[in-house]
Amino acid sequence: MEVRIIGDPVLRKKAQAVNNFDDELEKFVEEMFSTMYLYEGVGLAAPQVGVSLRLFVMDSREENNKGKKVVINPEILEYLGEEVSEEEGCLSIPEIFEDVYRPEGVKVRYQDINGNVIEEELHGYQARIFQHEYDHLEGILFVDKISTLRKALIKKDLAKLSEKGKQRAKEIKKLGDEIKI
């Protein structure tokens, strides 16, 4: 499973709902977790591996796997608390880290791997990961949320990565290596 990088058109599409909760989905989710851990990430959205579905995995690395979640067809019901600035990075935008403002908490609804509906409040690091990954499902990248000045300062790096991402997307399409689930 290959992580797509900025410039790949799949990262800018609004993802489609997941309708089939089957063994194929379960295998896909397992591969996503493996890929996320391989790249030392804390979240990975399906579009980041070339699949335009409303699904992401996350692990805030808390005790007893409390921060490990499979999130399918998520909704953010309410933003909670103050906006807080923290540094973010992204597996799809390697080696670039910038401060991003996000609400400290969120009230969310989503389905788990079995299709069960879960509603909960998340705060702090979990809320940040959830919002970051949710943005991927909307075709939004964290660099879209940084200041114009910061964006100007990393413009060349983003342009290089974007060109690389476009090229790799063409190669994947040409080879027929796209993941189907």
* Amino acid (1-letter code) at residue 160: K
Active-site residue (options: 133, 138, 163, 178)? 133
DSSP-derived 3-state class of residue 114: coil
Q: Answer yes or no: is 123 a known binding residue.
A: no
Q: Answer yes or no: is 90 a known binding residue.
A: yes
Total residues belonging to the chain: 181
Cα separation, 38 vs 72, whole angstroms: 22
Q: What is the DSSP string of 25-51?
A: HHHHHHHHHHHHHHTT-SEEEGGGGT-
85, β-bridge pairs: 101
Residue 62 bears catalytic tag: no
Q: How far apart are the first and last CA of the chain?
A: 13
Give me the active site residues, please.
133
Annotated binding residues: 90, 132, 136
Annotated binding residues for Fe cation: 90, 132, 136
